Amino acid sequence: MEKTILEVEKLCFSFSKDKQLLNNISFKINEGELCLIVGANGSGKSLLLKCLKGLLKPTSATILVNGEDVSKKSKKRRTLFGLVFQDADSQIVGQTVEKDLRFGMENLNIQESEQIKRIDEVSILLTLKDLLKSRPRILSGGEKRRLAIAGILVMKPQIIFMDEPFANLDYPGVLQVLKSLLLLKESGHTIIIVSHEIEKIAAHADRLLLIEKGYLIANDIPELLLDKLPKHGVFVPTTQGKSVPIEEMTWLKH
Ligand SMILES: Nc1ncnc2c1ncn2[C@@H]1O[C@H](COP(=O)(O)OP(=O)(O)OP(=O)(O)O)[C@@H](O)[C@H]1O
Ligand SMILES: [Mg+2]
């Protein structure tokens, strides 16, 4: 049976009264789903993640996580949701990979033995084990983004948000991050990804949300929305005038 993990109702956001940037956004996500949020530049995707995470205060919204109303509990939302920023570098603070992974856990006073256990688990999952003593500065783009993801995972969030996880990565970097994402999905994590590069990942998504000018204008399984996307500013690869089959929209060969 599918279980709703996140329910968002009528989320609105604006910086000023005269310009509404997110309008009555409502959707539900099931546990273990990989949800892809797409939309043209400036449509409000990053703002939506920041509002959910509690970094920005929605003008109004109802946000339920596992049935609990956390709309007014932005501090709790910050621990329930882990956000991997588009700019992975800005999230990396430790002198070594291991110290970086410890940073957030130390702030939460997590016991030393538990820290070691989580670092061990996450560094195996994201193949960072051989890099634990390395300085983050020397890592490749793909390794840095995996470290940013790992830094979020050790905090054990209920849902992982990723803002443009493939941005600025070369081909091997995209493959590394994509493989990591799919491992996370296989291990039962619920993931919400904002990306306009749907040709890299749409084959693996369970749900696609399309945002335009602050409105959620579609919410369905990806294959039903593909033909609709280009006129809303989202690139979809085509062959002979038709969008390529959904199972080909991945950079990982099955
Ligand atoms: N600090 C801010 N002050 C005023 N307006 C802002 C601010 N941050 C974002 N906006 C506006 O909100 C709108 C949505 O921005 P957002 O960053 O969510 O877009 P996005 O969909 O993530 O775009 P992109 O694909 O370029 O990352 C844009 O029109 C943007 O100009
Ligand atoms: Mg953005």
pLDDT (tens digit per residue) in 138-188: 999 889 999 999 999 999 999 999 999 998 888 888 898 899 899 989 989
Mean pLDDT of the chain: 93
Ligand nearest to the CA of 13: 1
Say if residues 39 and 211 touch (Cβ distance below 8 Å): yes
pLDDT, tens digit (0-9, with 9 covering 90-100), for 56-83 = 999 999 999 999 999 999 999 999 999 9
Residue nearest to atom 24 of ligand 1 (CA): 41
pLDDT for residue 1 is more than 80: no
Cβ of 235 below 6 Å from ligand 1: no
Cβ of 43 below 6 Å from ligand 1: yes
Q: What percent of the chain has pLDDT over 90?
A: 81
Classified as helix, coil or strand, 159 is strand
- Give pLDDT, residue 67: 97
Q: Measure Cα distances from 117 to 48, 122, 128, 157, 232 in Å.
A: 33, 9, 14, 16, 45
Residue nearest to atom 16 of ligand 1 (CA): 44
> What ranges in the chain are assigned the alpha helix state H?
45-53, 74-80, 97-107, 112-125, 141-153, 171-186, 222-225
Question: Strand 81-84 vs strand 159-163: parallel, antiparallel, or unpaired?
Answer: parallel
Span 188-212, mean pLDDT? 95
Cβ of 45 below 6 Å from ligand 1: yes
Of all atoms in ligand 1, which is nearest to the CA of residue 50? 18
How far, in Å, CA of 160 to CA of 63, rounded? Answer: 16
Of all atoms in ligand 1, which is nearest to the CA of residue 47? 18
- Give pLDDT, residue 9: 98
**Domains of the chain by range and CATH?**
4-91+160-170+179-248 (3.40.50.300)
Q: How far is the CA of 241 from the centre of ligand 2 (A)?
A: 29
Q: Residue 254 — pLDDT band, cuts 50, 70, 90?
A: low
pLDDT, tens digit (0-9, with 9 covering 90-100), for 232-241 = 999 999 988 8
Classified as helix, coil or strand, 47 is helix
Of all atoms in ligand 1, which is nearest to the CA of residue 19? 5
pLDDT, tens digit (0-9, with 9 covering 90-100), for 100-133 = 999 989 988 999 999 999 999 999 988 899 999 9
Cut 0.85: pTM above it: yes
Of all atoms in ligand 1, which is nearest to the CA of residue 16? 4
